Structure 1
């Protein structure tokens, strides 16, 4: 992995949240190597390139144009704005595609870091289902927020 990414891969990457997803992503890349990538590693550049997390959309848009965003940042790199920066960039990229009308997400009700990230991106909390909070951001809401800033 380090050679393919040309980056140092910490021993604790991909982490417990992303580890089960990694084989599925690799299988998808093998089956459709030319397909637009919805997922990727987050690489911190500077003196040394290092993998600090992963982010992506959980599949392509459904028939209503909705995609589900997911992300993780290794503990040593949390609370430094990396997830917010990457989530904002991923949402912008998604809406630039033209076929996406809504981005959704979920997180655990007590995951304050993820809650802050989703709020910073402009997502609206919809409801709680058990331990999960569900969030949404429409293209119109995103565009309106971009015109205000």
Structure 2
């Protein structure tokens, strides 16, 4: 399963790919068929990789809900990661999270992939709502979430909260 947009491709981070990220970056880049910048996965996403991997270890057949974002080109370049934090909960809610390497920020990539990933999630049938959160001073994330169609909720625990229901998304697709 891949999600793509005009300039980007989202590659699911499966357990074998995560193991390669953690043990053999050159082989990871080879398997991915992309250039992997030295500063990826970065300090925000690197600690998440072992957590995702432990989820696969607990549930080996669990679907990958987190992925690498590739900027399409010759060769493709890994520019960040985006995911829906493990898939839908019992109510069909997924939590959107992402990071883009600094050199690729402010080009609309996060918004473009967020829209594509949200569309893919809602088309599946098991996702009813997308939520996200960010710090109040993270203007880049605020812009991404607004442009992706999420609306701001009441802040909680010092974080801005965002939401988009499947019904709200479908209304914008007409």
TM over 0.5: yes
The Cα shift of 1:132 comes to: 1.1
Q: Runs (4+) of structure 1 moved beyond 6 Å? A: none
Q: Is the 8 A contact 2:64 2:86 kept in 1?
A: no
Query: How do 1:1-149 residues align onto structure 2 when only pairs under 5 Å count?
Result: 1-29=28-56, 32=59, 34-147=61-174
5+ long unaligned stretches in structure 1:
none
Distance of 2:103 and 2:158 partners within structure 1: 25
- State the structure with bigger RCO (CA 8 A, min sep 6), 1 or 2: 2
Distance of 2:36 and 2:42 partners within structure 1: 11
Q: Is the 8 A contact 2:33 2:75 kept in 1?
A: no
Distance of 1:105 and 1:127 partners within structure 2: 12
Deviation track 1:36-87 (CA, whole Å, cap 9, x = no partner) reads 3211100112122111000001112111111101000000000001100110
Give the TM-score normalised by the residue count of structure 2: 0.79
Distance of 1:89 and 1:26 partners within structure 2: 24
- The number of residue pairs the alignment matches comes to 147
5+ long unaligned stretches in structure 2:
1-27
Q: CA RMSD in A?
A: 1.5
Deviation track 1:81-114 (CA, whole Å, cap 9, x = no partner) reads 1100110011001101111111000011111111
Higher strand share: 1
